[in-house]
Amino acid sequence: MKKIALSKLFLYRCRFYIGFFLLAIAYLTLLFGLPLLAPNGLSEAEMASAAHSYALQPDSVMKGDLVNLPYRALQKLSISVLGLSVYSVKLPSIVLGVFLGLLLILLLNRWFKTNVALLASILAVLSASFLYLAGSGTPLIMLVFWPTLLLWLGSKIQGVTKPKPVYCFIFAFALLASIFTPYMIYLAGFIVVFALIHPHLRFTIKTLPTIPLIFTIFIILLGLSALIIAIFINPSIIAELLFAPDLTMSGFIENIKVAFLPLFSWSTTLESVFLSPFVGLASITLAVIGLLSTAKGFFASRNSIASWLIVFTIFLAGLNPDSAILILLPLAILIAHGLRYILDKWYDLFPDNPYARISAVFPIGFFMGVMIISGISHFIFGYRYVPMVADEFDNDITLVRANLEPGSTLYVIDQETTYNFFKILETEEDSYKIDNTLPAPENYPQTFATLGHTDIDGALVDIITSPKSNNSDRIYLYTRQTTEQVQE
């Protein structure tokens, strides 16, 4: 009987293509279904981001309003086309999340063997933390998008005998675009200094073709000039891009504590949009193994980048606790290092026994399955049922759309962020009237509604409740009729 060669089987030859294809299907399905899964509402930061983005005007560039410009433009386009909803607010992050996941997969595949890159990519893009980032309707995703893009472009330049000039140009454009994201100017400076002091990267710069190198430097200088001009026109962006106003050393340390407590603690004790633990114990263990395994080759560029990125993330977290989300990138790299180390050690035990090598698939598959399923379950149910986290989100916009007729008046009192968010509705045709000042009773419309405010001169005719609210009451419907008339 003829023996079947394992290497000739279709599933074996195409195993990595099949793996990446299944990963893409699972990731895209989860991403575009995120608004239906969790957190099932909008946070205050997301509402503020939507209001800020919608206020963007065509002449904003001339006025120096450049902070988070690419994200704000995408979010305004989404809201303008789809109308104000949970999905339209989150859609820009979902779209950017698709590209971020692709960039991370390409980066890991560039630095590691295909088997390691596939496993690390699955753990990274299907983790609860990554899904939250891709489903948050704020520019927070840009803090991870720009470094990932720059690292991938850098990997296409470094270590290549003749790097393509197009990658140098795109790298320069991405570098200058990133400095208009808060605190990313520090990353740009970090990359420049790291490239100059690291021997491998310094050698790469010296070997670059002269013309692409000159154009790259020119593009970077052009971006810096644009930043200086924007600061001169609109000095207020300095604080947004560089530092937190009135920050003291004690406040800096407290920010670091607040930033990383939800990421690694095992009980959610703070009111935060981050679910604890934001990074699972298994992932942390793999990352620690990866960090220790790179100790000998620390000065190799890809090994030291992950470690320095962690230090850089801690610095950013001191300025703004939300910046701790950047930790996802170095953790993904270190997890890949950890998986590579474990697989190499297993293969070294059985260098000539194919059955023993293949048998590692079963425990690894079981281990990966437990991590993925538990992470996704933690994400979906945690954001719905953990009180300190779930209370940070509300579905008021969905309730308004479902229960108020177009043209109705909604009073939003003592909630500036919510009021600015709902004011977007007034720009829609035949939509709602939004107000934050209560007039005299005779000046009320015949029927109106208030958001979380009950001290009104009118007859309460209905209460719209929500499971996202502590006392369940969210919207109160009133009429100018007297109480006796309503009872009759």
Per-residue model confidence (pLDDT) at position 385: 82
Return the closest-CA partner of residue 240 out of 75, 63, 67: 67
Per-residue model confidence (pLDDT) at position 269: 59
Tell me the residue type at 358: I
Contact yes or no for 331/133 (Cβ under 8 A): no
Per-residue model confidence (pLDDT) at position 483: 46
Distance from C-alpha of 82 to C-alpha of 93, rounded to nearest angstrom: 15
Helix (H, G, I), strand (E, B) or coil at 448: strand
Per-residue model confidence (pLDDT) at position 270: 64
Which tokens hold the place of 315?
């610095």
Mean pLDDT of the chain: 82
Q: How confident is the model at residue 139 (pLDDT cuts 50, 70, 90)?
A: very high
Three-state SS across 297-323? CCCCHHHHHHHHHHHHHHHHHHHCHHH
Per-residue model confidence (pLDDT) at position 141: 93
Residue 214 has pLDDT above 60, yes or no: yes
Pick the residue with more confidence: 302 or 138? 138
Q: How confident is the model at residue 140 (pLDDT cuts 50, 70, 90)?
A: very high
Q: Are strands 409-411 and 447-451 parallel, antiparallel or unpaired?
A: parallel
Which tokens hold the place of 9?
């089987």
Report, as an integer, the average pLDDT of 164-181: 84
Per-residue model confidence (pLDDT) at position 427: 85
Residue 154 has pLDDT above 70, yes or no: yes
Q: Name, in order, each residue with C-beta under 8 angstroms of 355's C-beta and a sequence gap of 6 or more.
A: none
Residue 321 has pLDDT above 90, yes or no: no
**Weakest mean pLDDT among 55-64, 72-81, 366-375:** 55-64
Per-residue model confidence (pLDDT) at position 370: 87
pLDDT tens digits, one per residue of 104-128: 999 999 889 888 888 898 898 888 8
Q: How confident is the model at residue 394 (pLDDT cuts 50, 70, 90)?
A: confident
pTM of the model: 0.88
Residue 92 has pLDDT above 90, yes or no: yes
pLDDT tens digits, one per residue of 239-271: 888 877 667 778 888 888 888 877 767 666 566
Q: How far is CA 372 from CA 47, 98, 129, 175, in A?
A: 30, 18, 12, 33
Residue 323 has pLDDT above 80, yes or no: yes
Classify residue 389 by its DSSP letter.
H
Q: How confident is the model at residue 11 (pLDDT cuts 50, 70, 90)?
A: low
pLDDT tens digits, one per residue of 332-373: 999 998 888 888 888 777 777 766 667 777 888 888 888 888
Which tokens hold the place of 479?
């009429």
Residue 327 has pLDDT above 70, yes or no: yes
Per-residue model confidence (pLDDT) at position 41: 85
Return the closest-CA partner of residue 164 out of 209, 199, 196: 209
Distance from C-alpha of 281 to C-alpha of 99, rounded to nearest angstrom: 27
Classify residue 113 by its DSSP letter.
-
Report, as an integer, the average pLDDT of 478-483: 67
Q: How far is CA 356 from CA 9, 40, 64, in A?
A: 19, 46, 62
Q: How confident is the model at residue 142 (pLDDT cuts 50, 70, 90)?
A: very high
Q: How confident is the model at residue 486 (pLDDT cuts 50, 70, 90)?
A: very low
Residue 1 has pLDDT above 50, yes or no: no
Domain ranges, ordered by start, for the chain: 19-390, 395-487
